[in-house]
A = this chain, B = another copy of it.
Amino acid sequence: MSKSNKDACPTETALDLIGGKWKGMILYYLCSDIRRFNELTRLIPGITQRMLTKQLRDLEAHGIVHRKVYPQVPPKVEYSLTKLGKTLKPVIRELEKWGQGYLKS
């Protein structure tokens, strides 16, 4: 987004970072555990490797997700929430609660 009034509307800042088609689900699963690349692929039906990579890189760039590479063959990479990422948990939890309520109504 070019330059909206983020100061006046922090809501927008947050949605910029966790919005998008897949980030919600990625964060949802990272909230409960450290996950590997392939694991996320399985947990999130329909996502392609390209999109998963892209979203994870995005989250990483914003300091929300940490990427830990084990230099071995075959490769092993673990994704987890950073300190900042963990502060998102209440947000994710609220979204989750609301989503559940909405689905029941």
Q: Is A105 an interface residue (CB 8 A)?
A: yes
> How many copies, total?
2
Q: Determine if B98 and A91 form an interchain contact, defined as CB atoms under 8 angstroms apart.
A: yes
Determine the main DSSP class of A at the interface with B. Answer: helix
Shortest distance in angstroms between A15's beta carbon and chain B's nearest beta carbon?
4
Number of interface residues of A (CB under 8 A): 44
A residues sitting closer than 8 Å to B (CB atoms) are 1-7, 9-15, 17-21, 23-25, 27-28, 44-46, 84, 87-88, 90-92, 94-103, 105
5 more CB-based (< 8 A) A-B contacts, given A3-B46, A10-B98, A15-B95: A11-B95, A14-B24, A14-B96, A15-B23, A15-B24
